[in-house]
């Protein structure tokens, strides 16, 4: 039976489309089970019907013609109950509905199994026999297993276009159902899809021996030089739409082009006799393996930059590598299997309306750049890229949804929302110069998070009062070794100088386990609970000490630096880290450095320290709650796992109660506590955080104007009342619904869309 199942699954996976897959299912199952009929019905949610999509046993002409309303017939009974229906004589059941054109009257025994994917009913898989006897348990369990396998294929077809078969012959195919992805950059984009693809594919390059090594080295070096010019031109093209400092986003490309491991790797392969294209292929593949094995989404996304850079060099290596300029629509929705930051930079700024990428997340460079440009973006969208070029598209960057060829009603509604958003943005822009103070006079400083200088530079003009979190990992990622003290000093000095009117919080190195460096790989079964963060820093004081010395030196004369320790789970780790910091400080003072000891904080992101928060607070100057990780650990939900991501919600009552405990513990020891992470940038959550008494909120720069509006429109007393009301709910969805209703009533519906 298991071998039969494997063969069926393999055949279905190899099917060219959903139609063929469904027919394979009914044919293979009927043969394997020795039954007289096998059929598949799928749900048409738009028309509230079950549609016969494939059969072996009924009249073939009834396929896609037989439609049963939800709750109608035995098929409707299976869908309604969402459980197996096993009958010796289906025709005698009260729910049975006879449909003459199917030829079903010759069958008696009926077995229907629901097809369910992530709690969503997708259809019904049916077996029937001439005999009047129930199906035995082996057949029932086998059919349940087949239905579970089929569910994934159908769910994929819903977002890849294959499900359009449901609507054949049923009028317009214009869709009211969105394709789903992850929010990459907030906003509404309405325009025409322009599918961008690369003609240079590294994996297709063959090995080829060469005779003239020096000539091949010259060809490669010319290609690298040409790509450097391309990147410089991209930076220039964005000069009018972004601050000059935002070129730091593309500086990563230039750094990789000058990387010893990349350039030397290719040149060494050429010297071994392989031509430049294959040498490039192998070197890029080696780099990609390191990035793609990382669990941390921010660092894993850097692999896309490596791949993009390799393709650009390859394009220059290939004959006729000069790219012809593209003619973009006036309102371009840039679409691709994997859109990169450099692809976005190729579109004239005045013509880009939104970005949709089949790969990536909000930590991708293209998402970061889109946020800096104010361009809506949806990442990781499973969309039929090959079939949508030139179609009308709506991009909802708030919810991570894409509507392709939408209905007129949806098109009109989103056009209205886009206009409303434009007016809202103008209103929010007026808040930039105003203080982040509640109507009853409580100051709530708003800070920004970032891992690249390009994310931090325009912070003051957006009204930020400090940098709440600077991730120091990326400078370690783009090198082939640990960066030295002087290299780190230059980086941290530039970050500190980017914001001189408020605190700049540098988080110490948060790698290891799930974020292995290319030159320091770590293989673990459970990296999220493994050797990472402060654990690896304490186990390698020689590395930690270099970073702390560089940070302290960078702060000389600045007096704006704060240090933040990540992944702390005990007071012992705090004591050990502070001891190493004191050692670094004493060494530099002995070397005549005029430095001051900075304020030191701890990230509250591990549940254990929630229960030791007062003991932690006695040892440091401030606390910062990392709500992303704390929520994941408290709820045991990986929010990057599509199977369970729906369970992740920072407004879960357990998370709210943990956050209250943290702020009470910090204030009991008279130290400030802030929140960094997406929760701080969620308008619905921000009200509750103010009600809890958090002293500061740190978020992505794009969210800052909206959160300032929240702070300026809700008194702390009202925020406390709303917190009490929220704590009465037992479900996160009810908390969010309540808070969104509050925002709607306050007159800022755009904030509701941002929070959902």
**Is there a contact between 147 and 113 (Cβ–Cβ < 8 Å)?**
yes
Q: Is residue 76 part of a domain?
A: yes
pLDDT for res 167:
45
pLDDT at 148: 85
Which one is catalytic: 365, 540, 667, 738? 365
pLDDT of residue 481: 75
Region of poorest pLDDT, from 32-41, 153-162, 282-291? 153-162
Q: Give the domain CATH number at 91.
A: 3.30.450.40
Is 450 among the domain residues? yes
- Give 244's DSSP letter: G
Q: What per-residue confidence (pLDDT) applies to 477?
A: 67
Instruction: Give me the mean pLDDT over the 137-144 stretch.
Output: 90
pLDDT at 293 over 60: yes
**327 labelled catalytic:** no
Residues 428 and 706: their CA atoms lie apart, in Å, by 7
Same domain, 505 and 613: yes
Single residue among 355, 387, 405 that ends a domain in this structure: 405
Q: Are 31 and 4 in contact (CB under 8 A)?
A: no
In a domain, 221, yes or no: yes
Q: Give just the sign of the alpha carbon dihedral 712, 717, 722, 727.
A: positive
Least Cα distance to 54 among 142, 166, 131, 152 occurs for: 166
pLDDT at position 173 over 60: no
Domain end, chosen from 317, 335, 352, is at 317
Which domain-ending residue is among 263, 298, 317?
A: 317
257-266: Cβ within 8 A, 24+ apart: 257/224, 257/227, 257/228, 257/231, 257/309, 259/478, 259/479, 259/480, 260/480, 261/287, 261/480, 261/518, 262/287, 263/224, 266/220
Q: What is the DSSP letter of 193?
A: E
Same domain membership, residue 248 and residue 385: no
Question: Which stretch, 237-246, 653-662, 736-745, has highest mean pLDDT?
Answer: 653-662
Evaluate whether residue 740 is within a structural domain.
no
Helical residues (DSSP H) of 329-380, grouped into ranges:
341-346, 365-373
| CATH number for the domain that contains residue 222 | 1.10.274.10
- What torsion, rounded to 10 degrees, do the Cα atoms 92, 97, 99, 102 define? -60
Q: Are residues 250 and 330 part of one domain?
A: no
Q: What is the pLDDT of residue 652?
A: 96
Exposure string of 485-495, with b = 16+ CB inside 10 Å and e = fewer, is eebbbebbbeb
Q: 156 with 7, same domain?
A: yes
75 and 188 share one domain: no
Mean pLDDT of 381-391: 79
- With 0-12 / 13-18 / 19 or more C-beta atoms within 10 angstroms meaning exposed / middle / buried, residue 676 is buried
Q: What is the arithmetic mean of pLDDT over 227-254? A: 67
Quickly state the pLDDT bin for 382 (edges 50, 70, 90). Answer: confident
Average pLDDT over residues 164-174: 43
What is the number of structural domains in the chain? 4
- At residue 12 the predicted structure's pLDDT band, cuts being 50, 70 and 90, is low
In a domain, 443, yes or no: yes
The average confidence (pLDDT) of the chain is 84
The predicted-structure confidence for 515-564, as pLDDT tens digits, reads as follows: 566 666 666 666 667 777 898 899 989 999 999 999 999 999 988 999 99
Q: Does 532 or 88 have the greater pLDDT score?
A: 88
Q: Is the pLDDT of residue 479 over 50?
A: yes
Q: Which residues of 36-65 are buried (b: 16+ CB within 10 A; e: fewer)?
A: bbbbbbbbbeeeebbbbbbbbbbbeebbbe
Which own/partner contact pairs does 96-99 have at CB distance under 8 Å and 24+ positions apart? 97/68, 97/72, 97/73, 99/62, 99/66
pLDDT of residue 320: 44
Q: What is the CATH number of the domain that holds 503?
A: 3.20.20.60
748 part of a folded domain: no
Q: Specify whether 113 is located in the same domain as 63.
A: yes
Domain range for 30 is 2-167
> Hey, what are 172's tokens?
């317009």
Residues 455 and 595 in one domain: yes
Across the range 144-173, mean pLDDT stands at 60
- Residue 345 maps to which CATH number? 3.50.30.10
Do 192 and 368 contact (CB within 8 A), yes or no? no
561 and 641 fall within a common domain: yes
Report, as an integer, the average pLDDT of 407-435.
80
For residues 468 and 495, what is the distance between their CA atoms, to the nearest angstrom?
A: 12
**Dist CA 719 CA 756 (whole Å):** 19
DSSP codes, 266-303: HHHHHHTTB-HHHHHHHHHHHHHHHHHT---HHHHTHH
173 domain-assigned: no
162 lies in the same domain as 305: no
561 and 615, same domain (yes or no): yes
471 with 612, same domain: the answer is: yes
pLDDT digits (tens, 9 = 90+) for 724-740: 999 999 999 999 999 98
- Do 159 and 219 share a domain, yes or no? no
50 belongs to the catalytic site = no
Phi-psi category of residue 64: left, alpha or beta, with phi > 0 → left and psi -120 to 50 → alpha: left
How many angstroms separate the CA atoms of 561 and 505, rounded? 6
Q: Report the percentage of the chain scoring pLDDT > 70.
A: 83
Is 679 among the domain residues? Answer: yes
Tens of pLDDT, residue by residue over 188-238, are 999 999 987 665 667 657 676 788 899 889 888 888 888 888 887 777 776
């Amino acid at each position: 039976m298991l071998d039969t199942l494997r063969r069926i699954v393999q055949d279905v996976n190899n099917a060219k489309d959903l139609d063929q897959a469904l027919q394979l299912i009914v044919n293979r199952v009927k043969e394997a089970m020795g039954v007289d009929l096998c059929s598949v019905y799928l749900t048409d949610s738009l028309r509230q019907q079950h549609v016969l999509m494939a059969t072996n046993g009924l009249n073939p002409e009834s396929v896609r013609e037989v439609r049963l309303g939800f709750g109608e017939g035995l098929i409707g009974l299976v869908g309604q109950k969402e459980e197996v229906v096993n009958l010796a004589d289906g025709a005698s059941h009260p729910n049975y509905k006879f449909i003459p054109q199917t030829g079903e009257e010759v069958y008696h025994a009926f077995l229907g199994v629901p097809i369910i994917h992530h709690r969503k009913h997708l259809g019904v898989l049916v077996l029937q026999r001439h005999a009047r006897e129930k199906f035995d348990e082996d057949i029932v369990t086998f059919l349940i297993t087949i239905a579970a396998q089929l569910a994934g294929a159908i769910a994929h077809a819903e977002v890849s276009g294959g499900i359009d078969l449901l609507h054949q012959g049923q009028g317009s195919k214009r869709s009211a159902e969105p394709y789903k992805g992850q929010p990459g950059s907030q906003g509404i984009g309405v325009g025409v899809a322009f599918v961008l693809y690369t003609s240079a594919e590294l994996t297709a390059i063959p090995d080829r021996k060469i005779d003239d090594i020096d000539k091949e080295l010259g060809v490669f070096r010319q290609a690298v030089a040409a790509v450097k010019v391309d990147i410089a031109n991209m930076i220039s093209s964005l000069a009018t739409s972004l601050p000059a400092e935002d070129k730091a986003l593309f500086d990563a490309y230039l750094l990789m082009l000058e990387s010893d491991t990349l350039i030397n790797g290719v040149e060494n392969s050429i010297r071994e006799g392989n031509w430049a294209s294959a040498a490039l292929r192998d070197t890029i593949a080696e780099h990609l393996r390191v990035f793609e094995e990382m669990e941390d989404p921010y660092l894993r996304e850097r692999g896309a930059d490596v791949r993009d850079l390799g393709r650009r060099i390859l394009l220059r290596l290939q004959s006729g590598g000069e790219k012809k300029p593209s003619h973009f629509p006036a309102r371009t929705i840039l679409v691709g299997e994997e859109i990169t930051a450099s692809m976005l930079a190729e579109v004239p700024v005045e013509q880009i309306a939104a970005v949709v990428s089949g790969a990536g997340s909000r930590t991708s460079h293209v998402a970061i750049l889109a946020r800096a440009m104010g361009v809506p973006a949806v990442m990781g969208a499973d969309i039929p890229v090959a079939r949508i070029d030139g179609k009308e598209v709506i991009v909802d960057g708030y919810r991570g949804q894409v509507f392709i060829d939408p209905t007129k009603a949806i098109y009109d509604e989103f056009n209205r929302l886009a206009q409303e958003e434009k007016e809202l943005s103008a209103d929010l822009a007026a808040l930039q110069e105003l203080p982040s103070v509640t109507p009853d006079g409580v100051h709530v400083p708003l800070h920004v998070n970032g891992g690249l200088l390009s994310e931090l530079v325009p912070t003051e003009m957006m009204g930020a009062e400090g940098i709440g979190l600077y991730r120091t990992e990326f400078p370690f990622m783009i090198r082939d070794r640990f960066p030295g003290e002087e290299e780190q000093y230059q980086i941290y000095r530039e970050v500190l100088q980017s914001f001189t009117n408020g605190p700049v919080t540098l988080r110490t190195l948060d790698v290891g386990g799930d974020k292995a460096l290319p030159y320091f790989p770590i293989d673990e079964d459970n990296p999220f609970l493994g050797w990472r963060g402060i654990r690896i820093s304490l186990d390698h004081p020689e590395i930690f000490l270099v970073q702390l010395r560089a940070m302290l030196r960078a702060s000389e004369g600045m007096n704006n630096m704060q240090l933040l320790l990540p992944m702390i789970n005990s007071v012992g780790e705090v004591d050990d880290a502070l001891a190493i910091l004191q050692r670094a400080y004493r060494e530099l003072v002995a070397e005549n450095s005029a430095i001051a000891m900075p304020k030191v904080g701890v990230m509250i992101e591990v549940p254990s320290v929630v229960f030791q928060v007062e003991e932690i607070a006695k040892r440091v100057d401030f606390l910062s709650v990392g709500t992303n990780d704390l929520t994941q650990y408290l709820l045991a939900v990986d929010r990057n796992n599509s199977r369970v991501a729906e369970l992740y919600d920072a407004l879960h009552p357990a998370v709210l109660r943990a956050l209250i405990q943290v702020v009470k513990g910090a204030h009991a020891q008279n130290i400030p506590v802030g929140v960094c992470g997406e929760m701080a940038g969620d308008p619905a959550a921000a009200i509750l955080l103010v009600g809890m008494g958090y002293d500061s909120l740190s978020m992505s720069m794009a969210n800052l104007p909206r959160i300032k509006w929240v702070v300026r429109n809700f008194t702390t007393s009202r925020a406390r009342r709303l917190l009490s009301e929220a704590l009465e709910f037992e479900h996160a969805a009810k908390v969010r619904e309540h808070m969104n209703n509050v925002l709607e009533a306050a007159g800022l519906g755009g904030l509701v869309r941002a929070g959902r």
